[in-house]
Amino acid sequence: METPPVPSIPSVPQPQPQPQKNRHFSAVILIILVLVGLVAGGLIGFALTYSNFNSRLNTMQTQLQGLTQNTNNIAYPNATYLVNSNVSLSQLYQQVKSSVVVIQDLVPAYDFFGQLAGYSQQQGSGFVTTVNNQQVIVTNNHVIENAVNETATFADGNSYPAKVLGSDPLSDLAVLSISPMPSGVTSLTLVSSNTLQVGDPVVAVGSPYGLSGTLTTGVISSLGRTITEESSSSSSTGQTIPDIIQTSTAINPGNSGGPLVTYGGEVVGITTADISNSQGLGFAIPSDTISREIGSLVSSGTYTQHPTINAQGTDMNYEIAQAMKTSVTYGWLVESVSVQNGLKGGNTQTTILGSNIIIGGDIITAINGVRITNTDDLLSYLEQHTLPGQTANFTVVRDGQSQTVSVSIGQVS
């Protein structure tokens, strides 16, 4: 008997994993939706911002149009440049320019044998002021020294012959007169330079390089400087002048003798350009020196009251202090004394930093209680506060000990 065949059981399909591409597709769709949302939000924000800005712009334009309509009939003056407390430099210039003059003269030129070979013309500046109810012109001594045929030219172009009333090479000052002085000329006022401070603004008016009526501005850079003017003689080192104003105001040849003024138009100095190695620096004789001397220059033609301590010396420094075995590194070292006046000179010559120095003398550290740190301090104090024939109390370091000595003030010969 045959066994019937067993029926075959159909195979059941096994579940298959979902393909990865479905997940990737969903992620892409999500990213696209986010980007679309961001772009749409940005466009909406931009539209709102632009609309707001455009609205404000239209409002501003409307306001400006109204302002323009209201100002159609206004005449605008030329621009005025103001400095500090609403000071107009153009107005200041107009205030002082008619009082500033150009000074021209002739300087003799000699040949090798000392014979007159001709004349050369030189030029400087000056300004009008009043002394003892007389209008005079103040300038630098080097502008008129050894010269002839002096003339003064005013801002209106009129020129007049000038006469030298007096001069002082030791302060580089000179006073001239015009007879008669042109009518309507205003004198500039001298104020004390003792109130000046570093940083104060000042203005110089003069004729640099022959360019008359030039104004330059700057500030007080330093006070109490000592300068050496250039000498016309090759055998001379030039005149040393103490108590000088240093300024950032441009001072060039031809400026010499012009006024240095405050923003109020008051004279605090007289500019000078005849200075050795002064590129980029401006200097001026202080008004206190002018006030001290001008009366004598007008009445007697000279000034003879320059003080001196009749001594040679040098500024103290650390190296000199080491050589002298002292802790004092400031002051003025007295190397020699030509007149016995209470000071003691040195006794030992040595070489310090390449210079021959005589050590062992007094170190001046104060005069009448005022600290002296260097040559500038010493000479400026003497010029401002002493006269020949007076005595002053000097604080000195002598033989390692600080003491006060009475010093007789001499007269520069």
pLDDT digits (tens, 9 = 90+) for 56-108: 545 545 544 544 444 333 333 444 444 555 678 999 999 999 999 999 999 99
Mean pLDDT check: name the lowest of 5-19, 29-43, 47-61, 68-82: 68-82
Residue 44 binned pLDDT confidence (cut-offs 50, 70, 90): low
The mean pLDDT value for 153-167 works out to 94
Q: Are 90 and 84 contacting, i.e. CB atoms less than 8 angstroms apart?
A: no
Query: Which pLDDT score, from 0 to 100, does residue 387 have?
Result: 96
Query: Which pLDDT score, from 0 to 100, does residue 219 have?
Result: 95
Query: Which pLDDT score, from 0 to 100, does residue 85 have?
Result: 56
Residue 329 binned pLDDT confidence (cut-offs 50, 70, 90): very high
Q: How far apart are CA 118 and CA 275, in angstroms?
A: 26
Whether residue 337 has pLDDT greater than 90 = yes
Residue 307: strand pairing partners = 411
Query: Which pLDDT score, from 0 to 100, does residue 68 have?
Result: 41
Give the residue carrying structure tokens 């003339």: 151
Name the nearest CA neighbour of 288 among 255, 251, 226, 243.
243
Residues in Cβ contact with 256 at an 8 Å cutoff, skipping those fewer than 6 apart: 124, 125, 139, 140, 142, 143, 206, 271, 272, 273, 274
Name the nearest CA neighbour of 245 among 215, 269, 229, 280.
269
Residues in Cβ contact with 410 at an 8 Å cutoff, skipping those fewer than 6 apart: 307, 308, 309, 310, 339, 341, 388
3-state secondary structure of 412: coil
**CATH fourth-level superfamily of 307-411:** PDZ domain (2.30.42.10)
> Can you give the pTM of this predicted structure?
0.74
More confident residue, 324 or 83: 324
Name the nearest CA neighbour of 101 among 167, 175, 165.
175
Whether residue 349 has pLDDT greater than 70 = yes
**What's the distance, CA 121 to chain centroid?**
30
Residue 172: Cβ within 10 Å count: 27
Query: Which pLDDT score, from 0 to 100, does residue 31 have?
Result: 67
Token digits of residue 350: 């040595």
For the segment 255-286, what is each residue's pLDDT rounded down to a tens digit?
889 999 999 999 999 998 756 555 668 899 99
Token digits of residue 80: 């005025």
Task: Write down the H helix ranges in 71-172.
Answer: 89-96, 141-144
Q: How far apart are CA 124 and CA 140, in angstroms?
A: 8
CATH number of 82-304: 2.40.10.120
Query: Which pLDDT score, from 0 to 100, does residue 194 have?
Result: 93
More confident residue, 208 or 172: 172
Catalytic residue annotation: 142, 172, 256
Q: Percent of the chain scored above 70 by pLDDT?
A: 74
Name the nearest CA neighbour of 147 among 111, 109, 115, 114.
109
Q: How far apart are CA 243 and CA 346, in angstroms?
A: 27
Query: Which pLDDT score, from 0 to 100, does residue 9 have?
Result: 42
For the segment 391-409, what is each residue's pLDDT rounded down to a tens digit?
999 999 999 999 999 999 9
Q: How far apart are CA 229 and CA 240, in angstroms?
A: 6
Whether residue 369 has pLDDT greater than 70 = yes
Whether residue 245 has pLDDT greater than 80 = yes
For the segment 181-230, what is each residue's pLDDT rounded down to a tens digit?
998 899 999 999 999 999 999 999 988 766 667 899 999 999 999 988 76
Q: Domain boundaries in the chain?
A: 82-304, 307-411
- Torsion of the alpha carbons at 48, 52, 54 and 59, rounded to the nearest 10: 160
Whether residue 171 has pLDDT greater than 70 = yes
